[in-house]
Amino acid sequence: MNEPAVEVRFQRRAFAELSAETLHEILRLRGDVFVVEQRIWQENDLDGRDTQALHILGRNPSGELVATARMLQDDSPIEVGRIVVREDLRERGVGSALMAYIERLLGPCTAVMSAQAHLEGWYTKRGWVREGEVYDEVGIPHVRLVRPGTPPETP
């Protein structure tokens, strides 16, 4: 039985708008999940692209950062990644709320992500479509997922 959903408020910030404290919170949460839980080398998380990203921040009513993601909007298609929900809040609606927020930001645009293969079914229920075969990324099976955009209207 899942615990009740958690209230989370989302906001977006360009890298230049992040305070040092907020950047620290993002990197700590990603470190807790990617480095500690999943045993991924920190160098694989810190790829030098955070400075170009739009960062999504999810905070609980106490103001704690409990979810985050990034969008590389200059890429075509837009790349969504570094999707993280604090471990104790998974399966309580936070991930779904985070993705709904991201999908609203994407609007009609096409997007891609490299998702952990065990989450493929969860993403495909949201309209993401697998492209290609399972591949290894940092020692974890991944799949490329695409969220098809809406074609522009013709006059």
Ordered strands of the 111-116 beta sheet: 9-14, 54-59, 65-72, 78-85, 111-116, 140-147, 129-137
User: What's the pTM value of the predicted model, to 2 decimals?
Assistant: 0.88
Q: Which residues of the chain have pLDDT under 70?
A: 1-4, 41-44, 150-155
Per-residue pLDDT at 1: 46
> Domains in the chain and their CATH numbers?
9-147 (3.40.630.30)
**The residue type at 72:** L
Q: What is the DSSP letter of 50?
A: G
- Per-residue model confidence (pLDDT) at position 39: 75
